[in-house]
Amino acid sequence: GDSVTQMEGPVTLSEEAFLTINCTYTATGYPSLFWYVQYPGEGLQLLLKATKADDKGSNKGFEATYRKETTSFHLEKGSVQVSDSAVYFCAHGGFNKFYFGSGTKLNVKP
Amino acid sequence: GAVVSQHPSRVICKSGTSVKIECRSLDFQATTMFWYRQFPKQSLMLMATSNEGSKATYEQGVEKDKFLINHASLTLSTLTVTSAHPEDSSFYICSARVGQTPYEQYFGPGTRLTVT
């Protein structure tokens, strides 16, 4: 069945370090792919999305490329900041139904 | 814009009682709202899809008589956990879709339910 698998956290990095959070998915058809971020005490916010193979989503320095051949959508950022500390969720879905990964907590230390 | 609120943020209730959770779209009209449940360190699991003015569509394995969903207006959906038990303790999150835009779901901050 459809699912999303993302690396377990927490991930702890120093400020300005490079970030990668791995995400792979299984799906019937060709879903859209998403990264959501959840800051403490807040709801999930859409960080970026890609709607077809080879698309690259980007926002706030974060990037992810829709790789159909490896069924992956890894999140990257070249230089993280303390303010990026949050929980990141990978998801795939379409018009109605979304499938979420279990979330990866990122801690960025000054 | 596109803010979704939930109330309460935390609730503790005794086993056997019912609890109502509200989900409101504050600055837009939401024809469709979604209810998710999240267990610790696990994914968000879709429980049901709620369309304004019609019955909710429940995912397989979700008891519709236990988790009552009402979407009476374009800005409010409610989830009532009836005859709650400790195993219903969880984090419940709602989201709302703006119009017919397929990919834009706006999430509420969640409600932590603890059943004692």
**In Å, what is the CA distance from A20 to each residue of A6, A7, A75, B27?**
11, 10, 6, 35
* CB pair distance less than 8 Å for A43 and B4: yes
pLDDT of residue B42: 73
Facing residue for B110 by CB, picked from A43, A51, A93: A43
Is B49 within 8 Å of A96 when comparing Cβ atoms? yes
Give the C-alpha separation, B41 to B46, whole Å: 16
Which residue does chain B place closest to A104, by CA atoms?
Answer: B41
* Closest residue by Cα to residue A102 from B38, B20, B33, B28: B38
- The predicted pLDDT at position B99 comes to 64
Choose between A45 and A15: higher pLDDT.
A15
Q: What is the pLDDT of residues A2-42, one digit of tens each?
A: 889 998 889 999 999 999 999 999 988 778 899 999 887 67
Contact B18, B113 (CB under 8 A): no
* pLDDT surpassing 90 at residue B10: yes
User: Which among B6, B105, B106 has the least Cβ separation from residue A98?
Assistant: B105
Q: For B57-109, how does the pLDDT look when each residue is reduced to its tens digit (9 = 90+)?
A: 999 999 999 999 998 888 999 999 999 999 999 999 999 887 665 567 788 98
Q: Which residues pair with A63 in a beta bridge?
A: A58, A76
Q: Is B95 left (phi over 0), alpha (psi -120 to 50) or beta?
A: beta
User: What is the least distance, in Å, from the CA of A48 to any CA of chain B?
Assistant: 11
B95 contact residues in A (CB cutoff 8 A)? 43-44
